[in-house]
């Protein structure tokens, strides 16, 4: 059976920060102006999920690639690195 | 902590650490900032490195317990369709005996940590768990240091080397390198699959410590401009698959689902059978090529490695370009230090060094390569099946005369591709390399 994204993220070691390093700047833009919503597809960690009336940000599993930041057609994601020492910690690399 | 250093380096990857080693070799103590808990904690690559270039930084790296996974004795190239595909490979005992460590595999969590250890031993200061959030500048705009996310985290420096990798919010924020557009990066995901050492040796037909690389094109990237690889490590395989980020957006394909399909491919599945996934990562690759390299230095700063978009996709060279560019940056800094002048003009020797070396010569040579792949989508869409049809027909023994088979193959190929298209493909391919 194919591994789900949850299975894959479960393999990794994360040192999760208390606050999110990813913020949607204006939630209204996502729901009203963004037809494509590519963040729902391109994120390799499925961080962005479509809820009933918003997009949720599950920053805990972020692989820190940066794709959502430049892939958002409205540049509506405020993206910084997790605080030093936090975030993913590669075992093999 | 002393708050002023001659040289501050952002990022303890191959570029930053190579520069740190070279500087420390010449009695300069650089400070290197690494955002991970240890060097390598955030880093990943397909996983090959080149002995020739590492030797330029650490001449006796094999004696210094460099964490080599496997010495590559064979390189394979696959062109896949849904059911199978073509395989072309080259193996040579030269790479086992005389030119050992010409190419070898590494895991970056282990390698980068080891590499940074070498720099520390030489005298460099490596500070981990610290994000550089901004650059300090004087009223003329000259870079005068770095701002970190630590309390009282400003550090002054005569010169700053930006070696913080391709995903650099710092470069975007400071404007030293514009944020790449989705067309100019590929997003790749990597999975490491654990297997017994013996199983790897049997499946790849190699001896202990030896290994194979497989670079893969075809419709495995779902029609997108992309590539996959399988590299052998000592007790695991590295599987990577990636495609242009704009293509991912346009096609609404999820990278992790593409990875699962890749693992199920009939040529891939037997190699990883019974293996256990141990890690899943993601990273960008620079696809802009020569024409999207930013300004490489300015007043008080230089940019090296992935951060400077130095990546040769065709020859899968990235980490080594980072190392050599880092070393060039260090040489330039040492020169500028003698004149006590870190202006752009004084640091321009860095650009000259890159231009005179294989780095910019190669990138210039292949400047059209990515455009070629972007233009000729048939490489990823219709040609894999067209070519497979040809091989399948010719290999099927069914009493049909071969001349008749050739006609069938040609007709099938022409269904999707006009003669002009095919000639154009060949012409553009020749021009791009």
Q: Does residue A88 sit at the B interface (CB-CB below 8 Å)?
A: yes
Kindly report the average pLDDT of chain B as a whole number.
96
Each residue's pLDDT tens digit, B380-420: 999 999 999 999 999 999 999 999 999 999 999 999 999 99
Each residue's pLDDT tens digit, B54-95: 999 999 999 999 999 999 999 999 999 999 999 999 999 999
Q: What is the CATH number of the domain that holds B13?
A: 3.50.50.60
**Binary contact (B107, A89; C-beta < 8 A):** no
Q: How far is CA B242 from CA B40, B150, B180, in A?
A: 21, 35, 17
Each residue's pLDDT tens digit, B209-268: 999 999 999 999 999 999 999 999 999 999 999 999 999 999 999 999 999 999 999 999
User: Using a CB-CB distance cutoff of 8 angstroms, which residues of chain B are in contact with residue A64?
Assistant: 42, 167, 282
User: Using a CB-CB distance cutoff of 8 angstroms, which residues of chain A are in contact with residue B257?
Assistant: 2
A58 to chain B nearest CA, in Å?
A: 16
Chain A 40-79, residues with CB within 8 Å of chain B CB atoms: 41-42, 44-46, 63-67, 69-71, 79
pLDDT at B261: 97
**Binary contact (A69, B179; C-beta < 8 A):** yes
Q: Which of B261, B286, B311 is the last residue of a domain?
A: B286
Assess whether B274 and B303 both reside in one domain: no
pLDDT at A2: 84
Domain span including residue B121: 4-69+106-180+289-367
**Between A9, A42, A79, which is nearest B248 by CB?**
A42
3-state SS class at B96: coil
pLDDT at B2: 53
Mean pLDDT of B38-48: 97
The answer to whether residue B1 scores a pLDDT higher than 70 is no
Give the number of A-B residue pairs with CB atoms closer than 8 Å: 140
Interface test with A, best of B105, B131, B233 (most A CBs within 10 A): B131
pLDDT at B263: 98
The answer to whether residue A1 scores a pLDDT higher than 80 is no
**Binary contact (B167, A65; C-beta < 8 A):** yes
Q: How far is CA B60 from CA B70, B209, B308, in A?
A: 17, 19, 28
Is residue B57 domain-resident? yes
Mean pLDDT of A3-28: 97
Q: Does residue A23 sit at the B interface (CB-CB below 8 Å)?
A: no
Q: What residues have CB less than 8 Å from A69, skipping those under 6 apart?
A: A75, A77, A79, B169, B179
pLDDT at B398: 96
The model's pTM: 0.96
Strand partners, A55: A50
CATH architecture of A5-88: 2-Layer Sandwich (3.30)
Any idea where the domains of chain A sit in the sequence? Answer: 5-88
Q: Which of B223, B255, B286 is the last residue of a domain?
A: B286
Is residue B267 domain-resident? yes
User: Using a CB-CB distance cutoff of 8 angstroms, which residues of chain B are in contact with residue A39?
Assistant: none
Mean pLDDT of A66-73: 98
Task: Decide if B48 contacts B103 (C-beta within 8 A).
Answer: yes
Mean pLDDT of B183-207: 98
pLDDT at B299: 98
Each residue's pLDDT tens digit, B283-297: 999 999 999 999 999
Q: If you write DSSP's letter for every residue of A48-85 in order, what string do you get?
A: EEE-SSSEEE-GGG-----HHHHH-TT--EEE-PPSTT
User: Using a CB-CB distance cutoff of 8 angstroms, which residues of chain A are in contact with residue B134?
Assistant: none
Is residue B235 domain-resident? yes
Number of domains in chain B: 3
Each residue's pLDDT tens digit, B347-371: 999 999 999 999 999 999 999 999 9
């Amino acid at each position: 059976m194919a591994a789900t994204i949850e299975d894959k993220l479960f393999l990794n070691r994360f040192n999760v920060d208390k606050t999110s390093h990813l913020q949607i700047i204006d939630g209204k833009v996502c729901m009203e102006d963004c037809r494509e919503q590519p963040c729902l597809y391109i994120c390799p960690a499925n961080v962005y999920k479509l809820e009933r009336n918003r997009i949720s940000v599950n920053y805990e599993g972020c692989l820190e690639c940066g794709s959502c930041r430049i892939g958002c057609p409205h540049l509506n994601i405020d993206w910084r690195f997790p605080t030093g020492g936090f975030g993913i910690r590669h075992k093999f690399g | 902590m002393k708050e002023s250093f001659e040289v501050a380096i952002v990022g303890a990857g191959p570029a930053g650490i190579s520069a740190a080693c070279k500087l420390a070799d010449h009695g300069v103590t650089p400070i290197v900032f690494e955002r991970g808990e240890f060097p390598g904690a955030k880093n990943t690559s397909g996983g090959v490195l080149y002995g020739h270039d590492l030797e330029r930084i650490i001449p006796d790296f094999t004696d210094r317990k460099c964490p080599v996974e496997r010495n590559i004795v064979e390189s394979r190239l696959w062109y896949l369709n849904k059911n199978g595909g073509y395989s072309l490979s080259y193996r040579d005992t030269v790479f086992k005996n005389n030119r050992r460590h010409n190419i070898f595999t590494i895991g970056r969590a282990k390698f980068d940590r080891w590499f940074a250890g070498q720099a520390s031993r030489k005298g460099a200061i490596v500070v981990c768990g610290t994000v550089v959030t901004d650059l300090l500048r004087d009223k003329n705009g000259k870079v005068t240091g770095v701002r970190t996310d630590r309390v009282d985290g400003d550090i002054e420096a005569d010169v700053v080397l930006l070696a913080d990798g391709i995903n650099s919010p710092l470069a975007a924020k400071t404007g030293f390198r514009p944020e790449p557009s989705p067309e100019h990066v590929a997003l790749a995901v990597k999975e490491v699959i654990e297997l017994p050492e013996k199983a790897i040796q049997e499946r790849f037909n190699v001896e202990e410590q030896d290994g194979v690389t497989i670079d893969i094109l075809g419709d495995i990237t779902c029609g997108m401009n992309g590539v996959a690889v399988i590299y052998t490590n000592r007790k695991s395989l590295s599987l990577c698959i990636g495609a242009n980020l704009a293509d991912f957006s346009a096609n609404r394909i999820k990278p992790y689902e593409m990875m699962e399909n890749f693992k199920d491919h009939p040529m891939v599945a037997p190699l990883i059978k019974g293996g256990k996934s141990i890690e899943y990562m993601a990273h960008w690759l620079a696809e802009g090529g020569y024409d999207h390299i930013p300004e490489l230095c300015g007043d008080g700063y230089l940019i090296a490695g992935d951060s400077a978009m130095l990546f040769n996709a065709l020859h899968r060279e990235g980490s080594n370009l980072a190392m050599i560019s880092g070393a060039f940056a260090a040489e330039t800094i040492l020169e500028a230090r003698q004149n006590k002048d870190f202006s752009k003009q004084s640091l321009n020797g860095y650009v000259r060094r890159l231009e005179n070396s294989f780095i910019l010569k190669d990138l210039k040579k292949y400047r059209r390569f990515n455009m070629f792949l972007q233009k000729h989508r048939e490489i990823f869409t219709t040609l894999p099946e067209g070519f497979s049809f040809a091989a399948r027909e010719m290999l099927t023994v069914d009493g049909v005369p071969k001349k008749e088979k050739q006609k069938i193959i040609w007709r099938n190929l022409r269904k999707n591709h006009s003669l002009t298209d095919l000639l154009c493909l060949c012409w553009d391919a020749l021009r791009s390399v």
